[in-house]
């Protein structure tokens, strides 16, 4: 009788950050999850496997084997899920691509970073703590600044996008995918110059 062994030849992990559950679905803080849903639909696959405290699937992007990963640990513990997948597939930080929300940018803007501090984002902070490395690639997706200075930050990031903003996000997600394609094709500098 043959025993099944999972193929571990993975080139990249692409992880979107967010919080699990219907309460948080399509909120600003979950824009990383929203992108992965968009990408899965574009690639005609489903994120329906469970492992590493995550929903995930395997697919190909630019002829490379990739894992799409949605941690189910809640935002502040994203790194505990991501590090499990990285260890299993022996992925180095340079082959990790994380998509997350950023309140410093308007909806419609993305910013690619190859390293750096967490910048106050708790999901990024936990990833840095867990993988013990700051040199992983981040694609930050603008979710807009608080409407008023004294507006509660938690209430803002957990609010839903407007209909108009969701239409803008469709174009943003296409840009994110194009950037990922360039990165996987080893054209990082072109991605940085084109989308930053």
Has residue 20 got a pLDDT over 70?
A: yes
Check residue 7 and give its pLDDT: 58
The three-state DSSP-derived secondary structure of 30-69 is HHHHHHHHHHHHHCCCCCCEEECCEEEEEEEECCEEEEEE
Has residue 81 got a pLDDT over 80?
A: yes
pLDDT, tens digit (0-9, with 9 covering 90-100), for 86-140: 999 999 999 999 999 999 999 999 999 999 888 889 999 999 999 999 999 999 9
Residues annotated as catalytic (active site), given as ranges: 29
pLDDT band for position 38 (50/70/90)? very high
Tell how strand 96-102 and strand 137-142 pair up.
Answer: parallel
Q: What is the mean pLDDT of the chain?
A: 93
Extents of the domains making up the chain: 12-195
- Architecture of domain 12-195 in this structure: 3-Layer(aba) Sandwich (3.40)
Alpha helices in the chain (DSSP H): 31-42, 78-89, 122-131, 153-157, 163-184, 188-195
Whole-angstrom distance, CA of residue 43 vs CA of residue 165: 23
Residue 195, exposed/middle/buried by CB under 10 A (0-12, 13-18, 19+)? middle
Check residue 131 and give its pLDDT: 96
- Does the reported pTM lie above 0.95? no
The pLDDT of 25-29, averaged and rounded, is 95
Q: How many C-beta atoms surround the C-beta of residue 71 within 10 A? A: 30
pLDDT, tens digit (0-9, with 9 covering 90-100), for 41-60: 999 999 989 999 999 999 99
Alpha-carbon torsion (21, 175, 60, 14), positive or negative: negative
Check residue 146 and give its pLDDT: 85
């Amino acid at each position: 009788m043959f025993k099944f062994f999972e193929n571990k030849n993975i080139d990249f992990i692409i992880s979107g950050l967010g919080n699990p559950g219907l309460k948080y679905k399509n909120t600003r803080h979950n824009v990383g999850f929203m992108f992965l849903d968009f990408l899965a639909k574009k690639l005609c696959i489903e994120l329906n496997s469970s492992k590493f405290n995550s929903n995930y699937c395997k697919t190909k992007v630019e002829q490379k084997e990739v894992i799409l990963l949605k941690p189910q640990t809640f935002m502040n513990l994203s790194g505990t899920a991501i590090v499990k997948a990285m260890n299993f597939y022996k992925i180095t930080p340079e082959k990790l691509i994380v998509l997350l929300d950023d309140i410093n940018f308007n909806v419609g803007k993305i910013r690619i970073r190859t390293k750096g501090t967490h910048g106050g984002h708790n999901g990024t902070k936990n990833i840095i703590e867990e993988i013990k490395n700051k040199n992983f690639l981040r694609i930050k997706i603008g979710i807009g600044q608080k409407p008023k200075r004294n507006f509660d930050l938690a209430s803002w990031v957990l609010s839903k996008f407007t209909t108009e903003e969701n239409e803008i996000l469709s174009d943003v997600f296409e840009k994110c995918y194009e950037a990922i394609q360039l990165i996987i094709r080893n054209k990082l500098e072109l991605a940085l110059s084109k989308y930053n």
